[in-house]
Amino acid sequence: MKFFADTADIADIRELAEAGLVDGVTTNPSLIHKSGRDFMEVTREICGIVKGPVSAEVVATDHDAMMREAEILRKIADNIAVKVPLTIDGLKTCRKLTSDGTMVNVTLCFSANQALLAAKAGATFVSPFVGRHDDVGYPGMELIADIRLVYDNYDFRTEILVASVRNPIHVHDAAKLGADVMTAPPSVIRQLVKHPLTDNGLKAFLADWEKTGQKIG
């Protein structure tokens, strides 16, 4: 499963990339707002750090205006994935862009039928939001299982990009279900490293090493 960092924070992206934990990046208007940075400038900077797909979202809602924004976004770098909402205009834009060879991430997916439409429109990625589903009392991971089943039934190539990931359990479940990608905030990716037995084991090894009075090198 590929790991995308769901952030526009450069320091976080750099740190995780150094550990080989960033196969791509997803941004959205809320994350750009949180970064306090200029959209084009920060997106260009991210594309320079990460070689994999970097999602940049259109904010227009009609097809022609989405296409105009997409033209600007796809010129930022070769690894831009234009992010469009799961609406009819978004799907039209997706079809047009992918037929021209541009990667497209269809976002705000909340049902398996919507994911089916994204695949039919030729999406590179579909982003089902699991955390927001959990928030309203529907188990978000059931959506991932449903989409995996539907895509496998018809051999769709669209990658399932699990979004709105809030905790390590989401990551674990996404991997078990065979999701292609998950995108998570850097804090959640860091949480994956943590295990009390690792911490306790390391503490004990270091204490015993100290007792040997030896040094390496």
Which residue numbers are catalytic? 83
**Binding residues among 112-141 for ligand E4P as defined by CB under 6 A:** 127, 129, 131-132
| Closer CB to ligand E4P, 54 or 119, in the complex | 54
Q: Does 158 bind ligand E4P (CB under 6 A)?
A: no
Q: Does 183 bind ligand E4P (CB under 6 A)?
A: yes
Looking at 124-185, list the stretches that DSSP marks H as alpha helix, in order from N- to C-terminal side: 130-135, 140-154, 168-176
Q: Which residues contact 174 (CB under 8 A, 6 or more apart)?
A: 1, 130, 141, 144, 162, 165, 182
Smallest distance, Å, CB 155 to ligand E4P? Answer: 25
HSE-CB of 176 using CA atoms within 13 angstroms: 8
Q: Which residues contact 173 (CB under 8 A, 6 or more apart)?
A: 141, 144
**Binding residues among 93-112 for ligand E4P as defined by CB under 6 A:** 107
Residues facing residue 84 across a β-bridge: 106
How many Cβ atoms are within 10 Å of 109's Cβ, its own excluded?
A: 24
> Backbone phi, then psi, for 204, in 5-degree steps?
-65, -40
Residues 28-57 as x/- pattern, contact with ligand E4P by CB under 6 A: x-----------------------------
Nearest position to ligand E4P, beta carbon: 164
> Rounded to an integer, what distance in angstroms lies between the CA atom of residue 14 and that of residue 186?
11
Given candidates 16, 73, 104, 163, which one binds ligand E4P under the rule CB under 6 A? 163
**Binding residues among 57-86 for ligand E4P as defined by CB under 6 A:** none
Smallest distance, Å, CB 9 to ligand E4P? Answer: 14
| Closer CB to ligand E4P, 93 or 107, in the complex | 107
Would you state the structure tokens that stand for residue 129, as one six-digit string?
Answer: 């939001």
Looking at 36-75, list the stretches that DSSP marks H as alpha helix, in order from N- to C-terminal side: 39-49, 63-74
How many Cβ atoms are within 10 Å of 118's Cβ, its own excluded?
A: 29
| Closer CB to ligand E4P, 167 or 202, in the complex | 167
Smallest distance, Å, CB 165 to ligand E4P? Answer: 6
Smallest distance, Å, CB 201 to ligand E4P? Answer: 33
Q: Where does this chain bind ligand E4P (CB under 6 A)?
A: 6, 26, 28, 107, 127, 129, 131-132, 163-164, 183
